[in-house]
């Protein structure tokens, strides 16, 4: 080794390696993406309980939402074996989330999370698991009467993109955003009208 060559630390190699996952998310349409230590992910039982009381309108409609997931207990176990995570966020006009555009936005979120998960697996993080916002039944199978898996009438129609909802696992999404160094409230004083206000949706990929 040359005397003038500074050795690259393993932490730097890991960082450069994981940057590929950030770029993957951005290329696919994420507004922001970051790598965080999984121990910085706050999991709270009471947040998962909101799916039950007051009862979410999507409760029980898909295998990726309560009561068909093991919730906070499972996620706390996942944190012990997955040391890093990729967080993705899509920033959109608030009005879009209350319009027909919502389904397309949430579909994109799931597609980004699933694609980053697949890329992580390809890179050697073979036990990576992605989570996103929203019920996959409403996002991908809204025009079908029931979920095939729950009705036992066949396999999932969208296994390549549909991912579990973060809500059912008690993940504190606002805290997650703060840990990335991003503002939770992205509206400045200049956003005076509803048409000018912005909002966001987020996804999470546990690397393992």
Taking only the tens place, the pLDDT of each residue in 160-200 is 999 999 999 999 999 999 999 999 999 976 655 667 899 99
Yes or no: say if 43 and 172 are a contact pair by the CB < 8 Å rule.
Answer: yes
Q: Which residues does residue 27 pair with via DSSP β-bridges, in sequence order? A: none
Mean pLDDT of 28-56: 94
Q: Output the CA torsion sign for 44, 45, 50, 54.
A: negative
Q: Give residue 145's domain range.
A: 10-207
pLDDT of res. 3: 44
Does 144 reside within a domain? yes
Q: How far apart are CA 128 and CA 181, in angstroms?
A: 23
pLDDT of res. 1: 40
**Under DSSP, is residue 23 helix (H, G, I), strand (E, B) or coil?**
helix
State how beta strands 198-207 and 84-93 pair.
antiparallel
Q: What is the pLDDT of residues 140-156, one digit of tens each?
A: 999 999 999 999 989 99
* pLDDT band at 53; cut points 50, 70, 90: confident
pLDDT of res. 202: 98
- How many Cα atoms within 13 Å fall on the side-chain side of residue 42? 12
Does 2 reside within a domain? no
Does 62 reside within a domain? yes
| Element of type H or E holding 183 | none
- Of the listed ranges 3-17, 92-106, 125-139, 157-171, the least confidently predicted one is 3-17
Does 169 reside within a domain? yes
Q: 84 pLDDT exceeds 50?
A: yes
**Under DSSP, is residue 41 helix (H, G, I), strand (E, B) or coil?**
coil
pLDDT of res. 17: 77
Q: 10 pLDDT exceeds 90?
A: no
pLDDT of res. 190: 62
Does 1 reside within a domain? no
Joined tokens for residue 16: 């450069």
Does 5 reside within a domain? no
Does 3 reside within a domain? no
Number of domains in the chain: 1
* pLDDT band at 96; cut points 50, 70, 90: very high
* pLDDT band at 97; cut points 50, 70, 90: very high
Q: 5 pLDDT exceeds 70?
A: no
Does 137 reside within a domain? yes
For residue 46, what are the CA distances in angstroms to 54, 180, 195, 202? 11, 23, 33, 20
Return mean pLDDT, the chain.
Answer: 90
State how beta strands 129-132 and 198-207 pair.
antiparallel
């Amino acid at each position: 080794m040359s005397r003038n060559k500074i050795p690259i630390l393993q932490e730097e190699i890991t960082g450069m390696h994981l940057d590929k996952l950030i770029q993957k998310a951005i290329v696919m349409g994420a507004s922001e993406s970051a790598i965080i230590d999984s121990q910085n992910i706050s999991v709270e039982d009471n947040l998962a309980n909101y799916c039950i009381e007051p009862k979410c309108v999507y409760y029980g409609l898909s295998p990726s939402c309560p009561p068909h997931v093991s919730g906070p207990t499972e996620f706390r176990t996942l944190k012990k074996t997955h040391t890093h995570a990729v967080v993705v966020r899509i920033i959109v006009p608030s009005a879009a989330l209350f319009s027909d555009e919502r389904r397309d936005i949430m579909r994109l979120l799931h597609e980004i999370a699933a694609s980053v998960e697949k890329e992580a697996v390809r890179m050697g993080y073979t036990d990576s698991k992605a989570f996103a916002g929203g019920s996959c039944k409403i996002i991908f199978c809204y025009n079908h009467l029931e979920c095939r898996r729950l009705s036992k009438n066949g396999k999932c129609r969208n296994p390549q993109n549909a991912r579990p909802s973060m809500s059912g696992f008690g993940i504190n999404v606002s805290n997650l955003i703060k840990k990335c160094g991003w503002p939770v409230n992205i509206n400045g004083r200049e956003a005076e009208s509803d048409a000018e206000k912005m909002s966001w949706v987020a996804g999470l990929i546990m690397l393992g």
